[in-house]
Amino acid sequence: MNMSVGAAVDARTAGGRRRQQRGLRRAGQILDAAEELIAAFGVDAVGMNAIARQAGASPGTLYQYFPHKRAVFDGLLQRFAEELRSRTAVAPRVLDGRTGAATACAVDGVLRPVMTLAQSRPALLPLLRGAGVGGEPNALFQSLASRLTLVLVPDSSPRPPEPVSGELATRFLVQGVAVALRCDGLDARTAVLAQTRAAILASFEAATCHYPSQSLKLMR
């Protein structure tokens, strides 16, 4: 009897895992469809019915996973944020903690992965420019801001920058990457990214009065 009960419990558990896996796959397919549409047409032009058609699902099925369009976009932002965290996991912190000098290398630890991610994920920039519910920074903005603070602020900094400096630096980064992606030549793109890096560093320097000015090498 006990063995039969145990087998039944195991079967229900296995069935639950399979349903969960199917649900995750279906949600992933819906997000894939939304990403493709946003990349092609932009955020404002994408509706729930279009996402359902692209995903090969009924509207009812779509709403089971995402109750509204904002939830779909938040799901994509969370996906991008996780990918960004993975790409920047090895980003260096400031190289000279004794002086607190923020370095171009530290900024590159964020700027390069964001540029790479934006090139491989065309839907990223339209989503990143948007705001979350109530005007709060969206998940990807929050991830970028925390990552920028992580690599630029030394552990020994007596007065870390206010959160607004991370938000400002993030906006510089987003705008710079957006402009760089529209540049045709490598030299023009390099110049934009160098200016972006300088603006990011300046935003932290202004917030902390802690980082000295420094010349920045062009990114190649």
Q: 5 pLDDT band (50/70/90 cuts)?
A: low
pLDDT of residue 72: 93
Kindly list the distances between the CA atom of residue 76 and the CA atoms of 72, 84, 124, 130, in Å, as whole numbers in the listed order: 6, 12, 9, 12
> What values do phi and psi take at 96, rounded to 5?
-125, 85
Reply yes or no on whether the pLDDT at 105 is more than 80: no
pLDDT of residue 200: 87
pLDDT of residue 180: 93
Euclidean distance between CA atoms 165 and 130, whole angstroms: 19
Identify the bridge partners of residue 96 per DSSP, sorted by sequence position. 101
pLDDT of residue 167: 80
Q: What b/e sequence results for 63-82 when a residue is b if at least 16 CB atoms lie within 10 Å of its CB, and e otherwise?
A: eebbeeeeebbbbbbebbbe
Q: 178 pLDDT band (50/70/90 cuts)?
A: very high
pLDDT of residue 158: 52
Per this entry, what is the length of the chain?
A: 220
Tokens of 176: 């710079």
Reply yes or no on whether the pLDDT at 65 is more than 90: yes
Question: Mind listing the pLDDT tens digit for each residue in 66-95?
Answer: 999 999 999 998 999 899 888 887 766 654
Kindly list the distances between the CA atom of residue 4 and the CA atoms of 1, 7, 10, 13, 26, in Å, as whole numbers in the listed order: 5, 5, 10, 14, 33
pLDDT of residue 11: 52
Higher-pLDDT residue of 58 and 3 is 58
